[in-house]
Amino acid sequence: MPSFDVVSEIDRHELTNAVDQASRELSQRFDFKDTGATFVLEDTTVTMSAPAEFQLKQMLEILKLKLAKRGIDLTCLELKDPIVNLATAKQQVLLRHGIDQDAGRKVLRAIKDSKLKVQAQMQGDKVRVSGKKRDDLQEAIALLRKGGFEVPLQFNNFRD
């Protein structure tokens, strides 16, 4: 029976490269020279630190540009509130990955409401969609691409 998986993943290498490129641009920009502004990547959390809060906004735009160029969907970004004191301002940017229970239920509901002849089920942090015809699966993929889910969706492991 043909099937595919709906996942929400971030390519770690692309994420590392994007943060490195953003750090490199930060060191080359005139307005950030000798300010001590940095990007620090820990797993899927980027911590930005700068002397002032307005610089965090500029750094966020640099990071978004580099992530977009590297093919990482910006809908996976979750911004924490900046922590500002007299000397520095810090902000964490979380990159969500995996389909949580709420998003999984929305994907399952969208597939069920579409009346396509496919079955969908949650399997950990992914959704497996299976059906008798390949065309039905392709329609399900098209439906999910149109749907406005809060996590970016990728489709892999297509089996015939």
Whole-number percent of the chain with pLDDT over 90: 29
pLDDT tens for 115-127 read 888 888 888 888 8
Bigger pLDDT: 89 vs 100: 89
Model confidence at 134: pLDDT above 80 = yes
pLDDT in the model for residue 2? 83
Model confidence at 86: pLDDT above 90 = no
Return the number of other C-beta atoms located less than 10 Å from residue 123's C-beta: 11
Mean pLDDT score, 67-91:
89
Mean pLDDT for all residues in the chain:
87
CA distances from 26 to 39, 63, 64 (A): 9, 10, 13
pLDDT in the model for residue 49? 92
pTM: 0.80
